[in-house]
Amino acid sequence: MQSNFVPRRTLMLMNGISRFLLAGSLFCLLPLASGAQPAIHSAEFLLAESAVPVLPDSPGFVRTAALKASAESASMIEAADGVPAVITNVAKKSTRTIQPGQQAQPLTSREKFIFSIRNQTRPMSPVNWIVSAGLSHLRDGRPHYGTDSGAFGERLGAAALKQSTQSVLVFGVFASAFHEDPRYYRLGSSHPFMKRAVYAASRILITRTDSGQPSINWARICGMAGSAAITNLYYPERDTGLNPTLRSYGDSFVTGAATNELREFMADAIAMIRRKR
């Protein structure tokens, strides 16, 4: 039986590591002190850019030009690879994956926090917790709570807490701080398979800002670091400290990349199954 006694030096080391990693994730906020929030390009901005500089004599010409500019700006957007794509509908603000041809609405900081909470109330979230806890339980992996029924419950709670913490930090706190868009923009079947696979995996490190510009995914990098550090507060003793925390941090990147692959190809797989019926 494992003793519950923990030497004082070990506790001090664990606390020091946790504080160091948490401070490191918060350190990511420092560059924002001098940064300006990027402007959000909207349909109104496009209309302003294409507005007629000189008022013509005919009011009818003005109305015709305005309607034409409005139709053109509402029918085309920049797709993920920079190629114009036809807009078919406007995505809801709570949508996690933006489909090809969808127009994404800009999110405020408040809406990003709401988005981060809703992300953990989706039907698939409990499934992810159960799968994560189940795999860990079958191989008696990290976190090492044991192999009885009570241990599975502890693993399930730990999985829910870790994923919820990560969602709030990545999609809420740091996405707001760095003015980044927390949603996944799907390329779709019009692109080659390998291009889509590489693109999906790369979204772990690359994202777009609120203005639609490409950017390093600081929100995910910092948010996952903070979430991994927090596990030191509720994981068993053997799963805390620098090396286990770094492994957990690395696993989060692998899991995130796999999740993006599912978001990119799941719709294709479902459509293929339906065609075969």
pLDDT of residue 59: 44
Asked whether the predicted pLDDT for residue 81 surpasses 70, the reply is: no
pLDDT of residue 16: 52
Single pTM value for the model: 0.67
pLDDT digits (tens, 9 = 90+) for 11-63: 454 555 455 555 555 555 554 444 444 433 333 333 333 333 444 444 444 34
pLDDT digits (tens, 9 = 90+) for 157-205: 999 999 999 999 999 999 999 999 999 999 999 999 999 999 999 999 9
Instruction: Give the CA angle between residues 221, 222, 225 to the nearest 5°.
Output: 90
The pLDDT mean for the chain works out to 77
Helices (H), the chain: 8-27, 43-49, 59-75, 109-118, 124-138, 149-167, 175-177, 193-202, 218-230, 242-276
Q: Which residue has the higher pLDDT, 188 or 83?
A: 188
Asked whether the predicted pLDDT for residue 105 surpasses 90, the reply is: yes
Q: Which of 22-36, 68-82, 235-249 has the lowest mean pLDDT?
A: 68-82
Give the pair of three-digit tokens for residue 74.
Answer: 């509402």
Asked whether the predicted pLDDT for residue 82 surpasses 60, the reply is: no
Which distant-in-sequence residues (6+ apart) come within 8 Å of 88 by Cβ?
Answer: 101, 102
pLDDT of residue 36: 42
pLDDT of residue 231: 94
Which distant-in-sequence residues (6+ apart) come within 8 Å of 101 by Cβ?
Answer: 85, 86, 87, 88, 89
